[in-house]
Structure 1
Amino acid sequence: MDSHEEQSIPILDFSRNKLMPGTSHWIATRYKVRKAMEEQGWFVAEFNGVSSELREDLLAGMKEMYDLPYEVKIKNENHKASHGYMSMVVDDYQIHESLGIDYATEHQACKDFSKLLWPQGNDPFCQSTHMYATALAGLDQTVMRMLYESYGMDEKKHSAIHSESSRYLLRLLSYRRQRNGEANTGFVSHTDKSFMSILHQNHVGGLQLKTMTDQWVGFNPSPTRFVVLSGMGLTAWSNDRIKPCYHRVVMSAEEIRYSLGFFSFNKGTIRTPEELVDAQHPLRYNPFEHDGLLRFYESYLNSLKKSSEDLLHIFCGVAQSLN
């Protein structure tokens, strides 16, 4: 990454020993979070909530998981879009593979996932995935608390609602370049249908993010750096103040890139809080069931063979008066 790219990336200190509500560091970070999210829909959190041992255990477990037979991995079924087993093949060569653990902050969900792949069980992998999901749920909730406070909302009320209504999906992903050695550009630019997403990975680069000036910058991996992205759910909740983040993966390295995607979803209905609707910000979205957006996205994708930048507005947008 060159110096220009480094300057384009907001890197915020989320060290748990420093981030105490009400302190000057908290208030300064809170301002930077809102600014970054409103201007470009993402930032990088320097976060020490995942130990190096946990990260290495999880990556080792992922490699073991991908060595399992295809017939075993496809047992990871889920009717929700992009929640179960997925793969991408180019010229008979697999360039992407991923599996998902829905409700990953619940220990039983991680245990069920482990037993699905390893009938005899895999306690270490179960523990690693659950501990990791729990740590990232804490990061997700901290970011949301900062947004509540920044918008002058009742933080305790909304934090409790967010915690109660959120479910978390942990996706375990692998990427490789094409067999002929060319860079893999199969993972096109997209935005997530989640409420918010957190990305973390091994040392192999490939993730690119769009800045406020519509420039693509590469993310320089680090064990303690987590990319926090806005999804369509956060866009609707914020009444268009926060746009969904465009990102993509371009693989050119010889090594396999292992990545962890942590996605928050609302278990029920997403609605814009009344505090975020005023004369300058008229209501943009009708309340909607989050899982309903996933179903609509899947049917829309299947019918048109492509996604749409206007998907959220098509699904639940409020018709705006011409007056």
Structure 2
Amino acid sequence: MGSGDDGATTQLMKIAKVDLRGLQSNTMAWAEARAAVTASMAAHGYVVVVHDALDAELRRALFGRALPELYALPFDTKKSSGAFSNGPHRGYDGQVPSEVLESVAILNPVEPGNVRDFTGRLWPQGNPGFCDTIVSFAKNVLELAQTVERMTLEGLGVHEESIAWQLFSQSHTARMMLYGTPPDKETSNISLGAHPDDQMTTVIAQHEVGGLEVQVDGGRWLAVPPEPGTLIVIGGDQLTVNSR
């Protein structure tokens, strides 16, 4: 996965969107969606899905209030609060010379207590709106991620016992990223360099700004533009291992 713009290698490719809203397992609609999800994941390593995990109200709460509040905090507050462990893509990343971004992770964000503990170290007076938004988003996205993982593994012929164990045994992280503008756009306009994801899947909710690219077979980079009502699910190294 990467974010960049190299006209010689980057292509804008139309990837079919798979509508996962309101599906019930063991139905014809589920089977058709499963086939489309599996085909896209096998061919490209990712799938674009239509889903209401991030509806208009939750999107406004997340991108319009919660994340701006988080990133408006002073750097020293974020770094010294104890809420983060500074280091590459673990807890808090900020002011990293090789990257123009800030990145914040919350472990197991579907548990309200974890999010409250995280929030209390940043806002000692509390911030219930932030907590509610993050927990709601995390629960919705977890449901989506597990649906795509189940569909992909089923479509590849993995036994139900193995699928159930895999979904049950996972831990989850919500990572919120704020991309900046590279200081020298004449030499590079990449905010975050190319990198693999080591987990089962990564669900990406883009916020109206393009730049996401995914590398597919043959080394081509495909641009994945943001579209309202869609999320991108990218297969990671663990999915490759578990689907062999």
Q: Is the 8 A contact 1:114 1:122 kept in 2?
A: yes
Unaligned runs of 5+ in 2: 1-10
1:115 aligned partner: 120
| Residue in structure 1 matching 2:28, options 7, 24, 28 | 24
Alignment TM-score, normalising by the size of structure 1: 0.65
1:178 aligned partner: 182
Higher relative contact order (CA 8 A, sep 6+): 2
Cα gap change, 1:105 to 1:236, in 2 (>3 Å): same
1:147 aligned partner: 152
For the aligned residue pairs, the C-alpha RMSD in angstroms reads: 2.3
1:244-259 to 2 correspondence within 5 Å?
A: none
1:166 aligns with 2:173: no
1:192 aligns with 2:197: yes
Structure 2 Cα separation of the partners of residues 159 and 78 of structure 1: 32
Structure 2 Cα separation of the partners of residues 218 and 88 of structure 1: 26
Structure 2 Cα separation of the partners of residues 42 and 138 of structure 1: 17
Structure 1 Cα separation of the partners of residues 47 and 190 of structure 2: 23
| Residue in structure 1 matching 2:103, options 98, 107, 110 | 98
Letter aligned with residue 57 of structure 1? A
Q: Is the 8 A contact 2:101 2:191 kept in 1?
A: no
2:7 aligned partner: none
1:86 aligns with 2:90: no
| Residue in structure 2 matching 1:232, options 232, 237, 241 | 237
Q: Is the 8 A contact 1:176 1:184 kept in 2?
A: no
Structure 2 Cα separation of the partners of residues 32 and 25 of structure 1: 11
1:5 aligns with 2:9: no
| Residue in structure 2 matching 1:14, options 20, 28, 45 | 20
Letter aligned with residue 26 of structure 1? W
Give the secondary structure class of the aligned counterpart of 1:197. strand
Alignment TM-score, normalising by the size of structure 2: 0.85
Q: Is the 8 A contact 2:209 2:226 kept in 1?
A: yes
2:46 aligned partner: 42
| Residue in structure 2 matching 1:221, options 226, 234, 237 | 226
1:64 aligns with 2:69: yes
Structure 1 moving runs of 4+ over 6 Å: none
1:191: Cα distance to partner?
0.8
